[in-house]
Amino acid sequence: MKRNHIGCCLAIAGGAVLCFAFGSKVAAQNRGGIDPVAASKPTPRMPDGHPDLSGFWANGVAGVPGYGKVATGAEAGGLVKGADDSILYARGGVEEADTSEARQNPNQPPYKPEYMEKVKAIADTVYGTITSLDPVTDCKPEGVPRIGLGLMQAVANPKLVALLYENAPGPVYRVIYTDGRKHPDDLDTSYMGHSIGHWEGDTLVVDTVGLNDETWYSASGGGNKFTNIHSDKEHVVERFTRKGDTLTYEATVEDPVMLTKPWVINPVHTKIGPADDYIQPQMCRGDDKAHLVKPSATDKYACDFCIKDPDAAYGKGAADEVHKDKGGEQ
């Protein structure tokens, strides 16, 4: 099952906009509550007694409402096949026009005034849920804490935890050392930085430094339009807690250059993926960047998928897939 492509909006004749909303890792992370059934299972443990974080973690896949309920690949999710054998991933569905101004994230990082102005300037370039200024459009790794949980294979032992990400936005890995070592004194900055961890009960506490300034905190779309830049002095403390087949991620970010105080992100939850699914690393290509629409006085974002009759545009069955993707059928 292919999961992740960069969505894009293409300007077409007549001033209209055709938006392709592809699957993304967002569905792999659950910002709501923990799955009580998955959490009630016994927590696997390593020989030293600490929780074993190993496993393929995938709470869900965007556009695939049956994920985890039917065999992987048994249903098409948001895929619709046209009469000419073309494939549309109709994830966006029919939506009411959204003409509201960019909304500030309710849990906005506390930027200093001079950096908040830069953040707002970036927000002005957002069309829908994406801007060409986002580092991921150049296939740069998402960095910490944006990378979060995502679709990932975790491999753990008492000395380290390796997190292998399927699409962040391409195959990305990070290693968390749990053998008692310290951060190097002469550390060069990088996208994922240097991570060391220790256990506090059943929670792995991870300290990450050495992060460069070429990543963002999160995507600059939807309700997160003001959440992005940081400096190379960023310091992140993360907490990974496994309970049964669920994993909770928490993080606190310090950036003495851009922030007025530490920023605590909202907790994120995921769970073990279906037994027949597995990591499928996907190469990132920045081909879509040149086609991304920029907002202007005559062309402002209205909605992700502005077609009133999907069946007429893409063939019989498109409207049904849209209905399922919006929760009409589970």
Dig out the tokens for 134 from the structure.
């986002």
Whether 160 is covered by a domain: the verdict is yes
Domain that holds residue 89: 8-328
Q: Does 211 map to a domain?
A: yes
Residue 1 lies in a domain: no
pLDDT at 136: 93
245 vs 37: CA distance, rounded Å: 9
- What would the pLDDT profile of 31-90 be if each residue is shown by its tens digit? 557 899 999 999 999 999 999 999 999 988 766 767 777 776 655 555 556 667 766 555
Cβ atoms of 187 and 209 within 8 Å: the answer is yes
Q: What does the pLDDT read at residue 308?
A: 64
Residue 14 belongs to some domain of the structure: yes
> How far is Cα 23 from Cα 111, in angstroms, rounded to an integer?
31
User: Would you say residue 185 has pLDDT above 90?
Assistant: yes
Give the predicted TM-score (pTM) of the model.
0.79
In a domain, 236, yes or no: yes
**The tokens of 89 are what?**
């991933």
- In this predicted model, what pLDDT tens digit does every residue of 260-307 receive, in sequence order? 999 999 999 999 999 989 999 999 988 888 888 888 888 877 766 566
Does a structural domain hold residue 212? yes
Residue 2 in any domain: the answer is no
Amino acid in position 252:
T
Residue 3 in any domain: the answer is: no
- The number of domains in the chain is 1
Q: Amino acid letter at 231?
A: S
Q: Checking phi first, is residue 256 left (phi over 0); if not, alpha (psi -120 to 50) or beta?
A: alpha
Residue 174 near residue 154 (C-beta atoms within 8 A): no
Q: Which residues contact 170 (CB under 8 A, 6 or more apart)?
A: 139, 141, 281, 282, 283, 284
